[in-house]
Structure 1
Amino acid sequence: MQKASWKTCSHTEELAMKYLQEKAWGAVVPLVGKLKKFYEFSQRLEAALRGLLGALTSTPYSPTQHLEQEQALAKQFAEILHFTLRFDELKMTNPAIQNDFSYYRRMLSRMRINNVPAEGENEVNNELANRMSLFYAEATPMLKTLSDAMTKFVSENKNLPIENTTDCLSTMASVCRVMLETPEYRSRFTNEETVSFCLRVMQICHIENHTG
């Protein structure tokens, strides 16, 4: 009687563990889907950034002339810089991101060994998972993407003086500083988010100019 009772208890625990694993898997799959989307977005962002740099640093115009004549492109460039820092700020305050992705990979590997079909398996294959792991292992993954894109742009455009790129960043930072320090411009800000936007763009321009 005791033996039968023990088996029943063991079976209950097994069901409970299976239920918890299914719940955890169901929760982590959509999260990994989001991580995949942000990783893929970082690749598109890199391509867009290099295109914008080409437009904003081409001769014979100076960085100031480019920013004055191509304000829409300059705004898009600033949006990318702002997003980069904002994303990395959020990533650094969410260390569970890497834990969740590691759990996903462990569970996926276990399911494959046991020939268990896993919903969402096609979301992230092994090759993509490896690249995503390297991306999210960085303390500031979007900033790393940005820096790599700028380095690649400079190396692929050797006929373009490197000062064109660094001066473009310096000019962007200067414009933001003037907007923040000039009461006439500052009074036009409708909310504090605009202040944060300018500060982030200034910060990342300074970072890139000192690491480029």
Structure 2
Amino acid sequence: MPAIQHLEKQQAITKQFAEILHFTLSFDDLKMTSPAIQNDFSYYRRTLNRRRMEDTSAAVAELSDGVDLPDDVANRMSLFYANPTPMLNTLSGAAEKLLQEWALFRNPSLTLDNMTNCFSAMASVCGSSVTILNTRPGSRVKRLSCFCLRVMVGVIILYDHVHLLGPLLSRPPLMYSTKHFNEDSTPKATKELLS
């Protein structure tokens, strides 16, 4: 079944996946614009360790057990926040794990091609929606357009994470516009065209 038909047939799941992508990129956007989160968490851990070393009485230790994080949870949180895009990293890891697990069961319904075709179809639908929405006025339309743009970016990034070649050309033509224009690898035809 073509990917677009699959998405039409599973609209509720597609909408939920779009909501997950929107949340993922929103969370990562907040994390990237708030680098103090990682520093604050490190400060919390240092303070907690210092307090544990100073507190020798059992009564104080008993009171703090309800508030303090266990070391294993704190370590996992620290590793999670160390990544620049922790939610997207988790989501792409889950997609890769899903592909591996389904490959073990030799289930032909979920392959890398099927998954990336669905990602491509979602990106295409979102792009078309944005084009249509941008012709209409209103704040609700603008929010929906931003939602579609974020989901489109999310599925393209997710496609890039799960597929070896990625969604874009290996040598995009924009590469030669400014930074790489004077390099030896730039084709002569491109140099002549832009000169």
Same fold (TM over 0.5): yes
Which residue of 1 is the match for residue 70 of structure 2?
A: 125
Higher helix share: 1
Matched, 1:187 2:132: no
Alignment of 1:1-212 (within 5 A): 61-115=1-55, 116-117=60-61, 119=64, 122-158=67-103, 159=106, 160-182=110-132, 187=136, 190-212=140-162
Which SS does the other structure have where 2:98 is aligned?
A: helix
Whole-Å separation in 1 of the counterparts to 2:3 and 2:137: 25
Which residue of 1 is the match for residue 167 of structure 2?
A: none
Q: CA deviation at 1:161?
A: 2.2
Which SS does the other structure have where 2:47 is aligned?
A: helix
Q: Give unpaired runs (5+ residues) of structure 2.
A: 163-195
TM-score using structure 2 length: 0.71
Residue pair 1:108, 1:121 contacting (<8 A) in 2 also: no
Q: CA deviation at 1:187?
A: 3.3
Q: Residue 157 of structure 1 aligns to which amino acid in structure 2?
A: W
Q: CA deviation at 1:141?
A: 0.3
Identity of aligned residues (%): 50
Give the number of equivalent residue pairs: 151
**Structural RMSD (CA):** 2.0
In structure 2, the CA distance between the partners of 1:123 and 1:174, relative to structure 1 (3 Å rule), is farther
TM-score using structure 1 length: 0.66
* 4+ aligned runs moved over 6 Å, structure 1: none
Q: Give unpaired runs (5+ residues) of structure 1.
A: 1-60
Q: CA deviation at 1:84?
A: 0.7
